[in-house]
Structure 1
Amino acid sequence: MVWFGSPLGIRIDKQKISKFDKWLQEIHSSSSTAADRKWLLTLISFFCWKIWTARCEFIYQMKPILPQSIILSGSNLASEFGEAKRWIASRLPLPNHSHSSKWIPPPPGIVKINVDAAWSDASKACGLGVVLRDHPGAVVGGSIRSDMCGSALVAEAKAILDGVNYALQHDITKVIVESDALEVVSEIQSKRKNKNWMTYPLIEEIRRKSLRFSEIS
């Protein structure tokens, strides 16, 4: 009822849906322009979120599910999100592409592991991401997860360790690990003992596991 009653007007045929991601891909490909696809994904994202919260409220608080209320709140949130993006874009300086960083492919036979972390000082929660790509630039693997960290440096160190672990688990032995956390990278490469007690166990584990690669930089 939500999907059909919304501005999307999508009719759901349960018999034809095998996986949510496949259904989403089919809906996404039905849009003709990039702008339409962005707006479509925005609406779908907020409708999914409101359907989920309505489900939780029904299960845990016995609140009735009202499709029209979901449609209204989801549409309003999508509109507010779009307005916020336009407002931010109108106040940001244009990017200087001459100084923008560009991903550089690894040599043939080497896999580049790009890692990154996001950390919240308020909640101490962090998000860790890993992407592995080969010389032609094809994605050969990756991972993403959430965790709790005492600092941004710990989060960055955990992201690097996740990348190392992923490569070892998938028998990838020739790698380049790339991170924008200069302090953590310097500590890993340094011969001296790490002075940061929070990152020390992680850096030592990274150093130890790095010995299992036939080639690593």
Structure 2
Amino acid sequence: MVWMGKAEIGTCDQMLADWLKWNSKNCPGRGVYRKHNWIKVFSLGCWTLWTSRCKLVFEGKTDTPRELGYRVQHLLMEQIVGDQLKHQIFQFAGNQEISWTPPPQGAIRIDVDGSVWNDQHAACGGLTRNSDGDWVVGFQKNIGTCSVTEAELVAIRTGLEVGKLYNHPMVVLYSDSMDALNLIARECMAHMEEK
């Protein structure tokens, strides 16, 4: 009714108020949302819809319903502990000191990064170290024009290709791009749901 312009403003306000009240009292969550507090799911869903609407209005970009659902799921994996944001899977805090840690014995660690300069020139690179911290091999690659997330994904793929090229049986790969890691995790989850 609201979208088609057929409802009066007062009627829209009342319909919205009733809908909000119903969602705050009931717990209609199901599927991947059933294990979460419905108020949190509902609030994050509204926030995600609002930011998606702003993206459409100001940037002309749209999100699919599936992308919106994944964004809500990602936000649900984060929680505030004390006054620090912690991810429920990756368990790190915002003010934690970050230092290099070696991979397990017999493995190599590949650290990768992708970047875009001036919205035009994209590149990626990485370096490989063994469990003693010794440098094994490094790489860099000019990508051309793409988004930062695409550059990060190319960095991850290239890092894994380097590990395979040098016949390393066990690879631990690090990337600082949560967007790229979420895309990979999302695809893995979708693939597992198909089976």
TM-score by length of 2: 0.45
The answer to which structure has the higher strand fraction is 2
TM-score by length of 1: 0.41
